Amino acid sequence: MVLRRTAHAIEAGAQALAPVDTGTLRASISTTLSGDGRSGAMSAEIGPTVDYGIYQEYGTSTQPGTPFLGPAYDRQIDGYTRALAQAAASEVL
């Protein structure tokens, strides 16, 4: 639940921060979840499916980047870490 909620928050943040020319980059940002966390690992992959997304994020030798995914992650990681700690503490009880 914590991973799913955080992943979708990162996705929404990245979409809001993505540079927009045609809207294709923004529309391509999605989340893929694997596993259910009950009987094994759960993971989330968040990012654009367009091939130029990496160049927008990090830039090239001739153009600076316009980070959108990293800042969206940075905005959510502290809350995610706190929520995991709370979930772990409640499991111990």
Give me the pLDDT at residue 93, please. 53
- Distance, in Å, from the CA atom of 36 to the CA atom of 9, rounded to the nearest integer, reads 18
pLDDT higher than threshold 70 for residue 2? yes
The model's pLDDT over 8-19, given as tens digits with 9 standing for 90+, comes to 999 999 999 999
pLDDT, residue 66, reads 96
Instruction: State the average pLDDT over residues 3-10.
Output: 96
pTM of the model: 0.89
* Spatial contact of 81 and 75, defined as CB atoms under 8 Å apart: no
pLDDT tens profile 45-83: 999 999 999 999 999 999 999 999 999 999 999 999 999
CB 84 within 8 A of CB 4: no
Return d(Cα 68, Cα 58) in angstroms, integer: 9
76 contacts 55 by C-beta, under 8 angstroms:
no
